[in-house]
């Protein structure tokens, strides 16, 4: 919950804008500012104070304790000009909140955390618990000193400029070890604990068995990702409470699924009780992994709990990112976030150049030229399979004549795949032209490099017969100069010569150009591969120099006042 505190009418107005935008995330604290800050600090995980920074600092000072536990605090000035990340930038989430508040209020985010200021991913902001000399190792990274990564467990990380060797170390491990004086331990959520329990097993027995099993296996409780058990035990109080105390989810599976899992220590007892010869081992192994601690029973007589621990494989992450048509302000915030998150960036060289300034230090960039789409797709998937966080970029929307199709054709269920939509060339061109896509429309690529011309022509003819607005991608190149005239001829069999046609080159880019012509007046020689051609349907009109397709055919015949 985000606590909102203000002291003036102007502050209250901005406060109320946040409260209205985030009704489920915020709570307004009324009354004197000092009392409101104290109450919100105790009850919320983040605060936004619409106060002067000096006043906010004085109110917060007596309340501050441990930066790992204190809420993050953002301070917004009286004029709503700045959203300042004041306390808990990384651990408290204030940096992220400052950007969110600034975007909503139209303010400027102010983030002074050293790593953020130079574009580095903070070690305490990688999404993993961090232990050890976080400040010293972060300072070494900032100073350009070599910091080595020792990955005992493969896990996708955001980009950090690690070296092969160095006086400082970041160790990615789920083992119960202590960090050295110049070392940071990152705890990946790699451990799945399978549990079984008799009815009424006390939480102390279940939790004690889990902690003892982890300790004897030399594993860190901070790397436990989840508890897993059979559906029949989904409401067993001791198991539910153990998951709650560990702060991890409880995942359950049907007995039939667990019965199909091969385990080293099956038993007749659980088979008779819940329908599977194994609960703890089978639940832990349900999604694969390495059995680190075989089933063991609690020490009570009779034993009321069982436990097993599995290290699940680290899954790489492939984000297929659409960059939009080219303008930076048409790059979505989600796409920008994925670019910052990726430790490996794969893309066409000219697209990489567009967003190179957004790439964080430490990101490995794999770029190639035109015609290497399948190679880039294979490379991106291979990097994800090695456990990396990968961003595969494409222009427009990556799923439209771009990289999503070849990448997903290569990918299997051994990696996580995230699609990030982008503004397509057709949409960008449509916005320039007016409203040509107001009714049913279709996009057709005229490139026959991957699709036989016979298939393309059949699709153009179907669109023509169906009276659908058509946007042509890849309309004409030096080596392909006859396809566009042929496609226009097909459309001409079903549409009048005066049918509006919009031609947009480099939509949304500095050298954008656009013109509105007709089906009979379009000269194909003026079109190239950087151009999008949109041909209207029989209802499309040129209205005040804009290309408009009505939302319905009745629109063009309706009385003026009824439109």
Task: Give the pLDDT confidence of 145-181 residue by residue, as tens digits.
Answer: 898 989 888 888 888 888 888 889 999 999 999 999 9
Where is pLDDT greater, at 179 or 93? 179
According to the model, what pLDDT value does residue 154 have?
A: 82
According to the model, what pLDDT value does residue 485 have?
A: 95
Paired residues of 547 in beta bridges: 434, 542
Q: Give the residue ranges of DSSP H helices in 127-193.
A: 134-142
Q: Is the dihedral of CA 304, 308, 309, 310 positive or negative?
A: negative
According to the model, what pLDDT value does residue 561 have?
A: 46
Cβ atoms 250, 227 nearer than 8 A:
yes
Q: Which residues of 105-128 are buried (b: 16+ CB within 10 A; e: fewer)?
A: bebebbbebebbeeebbbbbbbeb
CA distance 311 to 324: 39
Model confidence at 281, pLDDT cuts 50, 70, 90, reads very high
Q: Above 80 in pLDDT, residue 282?
A: yes
CA distance 264 to 284: 12
Q: What is the mean pLDDT of the chain?
A: 90
Cβ atoms 15, 6 nearer than 8 A:
yes
Q: Could you tell me what percent of the chain has a pLDDT over 90?
A: 61
Phi, psi at 549, each rounded to 5°: -110, 115
For 414-466, the pLDDT digits (tens) are 899 999 999 999 999 999 999 999 999 999 999 988 899 999 999 999 999 99
Cβ atoms 203, 225 nearer than 8 A:
no
Q: C-alpha distances in angstroms, 326 versus 61, 356, 402, 444, 473?
A: 46, 13, 14, 21, 16
Could you tell me which residues come within 8 angstroms of residue 65 by beta carbon, excluding any fewer than 6 positions away? none
According to the model, what pLDDT value does residue 556 have?
A: 52
Q: HSE (CB half, 13 Å, CA atoms) of 546?
A: 13
According to the model, what pLDDT value does residue 554 have?
A: 62
Model confidence at 115, pLDDT cuts 50, 70, 90, reads low
Paired residues of 186 in beta bridges: 130, 172
Model confidence at 563, pLDDT cuts 50, 70, 90, reads very low
According to the model, what pLDDT value does residue 235 have?
A: 93
Q: Above 90 in pLDDT, residue 313?
A: no
Return the number of other C-beta atoms located less than 10 Å from residue 559's C-beta.
6
Burial class (CB in 10 A: 0-12, 13-18, 19+), 551: exposed
């Amino acid at each position: 919950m985000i606590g909102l505190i203000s002291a003036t009418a102007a502050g209250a107005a901005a406060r109320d804008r946040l409260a209205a935008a985030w009704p489920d995330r915020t709570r307004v604290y009324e009354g004197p500012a000092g009392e409101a800050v104290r109450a919100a600090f105790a009850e919320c995980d983040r605060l936004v104070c619409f106060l002067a920074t000096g006043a906010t600092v004085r109110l917060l000072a007596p309340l501050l304790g441990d930066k790992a536990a204190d809420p993050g605090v953002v301070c917004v000035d009286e004029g709503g000009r700045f959203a300042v990340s004041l306390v808990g930038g990384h651990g408290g989430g204030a940096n992220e909140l400052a950007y969110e508040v600034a975007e909503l209020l139209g303010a400027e985010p102010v983030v002074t955390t050293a790593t953020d200021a130079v574009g580095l991913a903070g070690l305490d902001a990688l999404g993993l618990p961090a232990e050890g000399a976080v400040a010293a190792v972060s300072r070494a990274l900032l100073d350009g000193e070599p910091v080595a990564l020792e990955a005992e467990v493969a896990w996708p990380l955001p980009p950090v400029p690690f070296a092969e060797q160095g006086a400082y170390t970041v160790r990615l491990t789920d083992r119960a070890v202590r960090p050295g004086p110049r070392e940071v331990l990152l705890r990946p959520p790699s451990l799945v604990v399978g549990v079984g329990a008799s009815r009424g097993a006390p939480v102390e027995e279940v939790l004690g068995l889990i902690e003892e099993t982890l300790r004897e296996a030399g594993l860190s409780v901070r790397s436990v990702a989840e508890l897993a058990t059979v559906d029949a035990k989904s409401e067993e109080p001791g198991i539910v409470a153990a998951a709650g105390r560990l702060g991890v989810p409880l995942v359950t599976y049907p007995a039939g699924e667990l019965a199909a899992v091969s385990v080293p220590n099956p038993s007749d007892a659980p088979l008779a009780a819940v329908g599977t010869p194994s609960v703890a081992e089978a639940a832990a192994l349900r999604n694969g992994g390495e059995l680190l601690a075989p089933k063991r029973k609690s020490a009570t007589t009779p034993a009321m709990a069982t436990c097993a621990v599995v290290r699940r494989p680290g899954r790489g992450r492939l984000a297929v990112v659409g960059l939009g048509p080219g303008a930076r302000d048409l790059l979505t915030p989600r796409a920008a976030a994925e670019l910052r998150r990726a430790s490996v960036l794969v893309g066409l060289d000219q697209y990489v150049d567009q967003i190179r300034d957004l790439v964080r230090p430490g990101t490995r960039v794999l770029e190639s030229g035109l015609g290497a789409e399948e190679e880039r797709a294979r490379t991106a998937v291979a990097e994800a399979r090695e456990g990396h966080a990968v961003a595969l970029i494409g222009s427009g929307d990556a799923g439209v004549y771009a990289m999503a199709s070849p990448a997903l054709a290569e990918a299997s269920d051994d990696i996580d795949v995230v699609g990030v939509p982008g503004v397509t060339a057709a949409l960008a061109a449509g916005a320039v032209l007016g409203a040509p896509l107001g009714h049913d429309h279709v996009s057709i690529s005229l490139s026959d490099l991957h699709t036989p011309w016979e298939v393309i022509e059949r699709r153009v003819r179907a669109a023509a017969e169906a009276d659908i607005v058509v946007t042509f991608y890849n309309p004409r190149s030096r080596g392909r100069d006859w396809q566009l005239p042929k496609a226009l001829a097909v459309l001409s069999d079903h549409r009048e010569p005066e049918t509006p046609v919009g031609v947009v080159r480099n939509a949304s880019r500095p050298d954008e150009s656009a013109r509105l012509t007709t089906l009979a007046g379009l000269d194909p020689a003026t079109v190239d591969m950087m151009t999008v051609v949109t041909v209207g349907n029989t209802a499309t009109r040129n209205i005040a120099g804009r290309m408009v397709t009505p939302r319905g055919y009745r629109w063009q015949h309706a009385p003026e006042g009824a439109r």
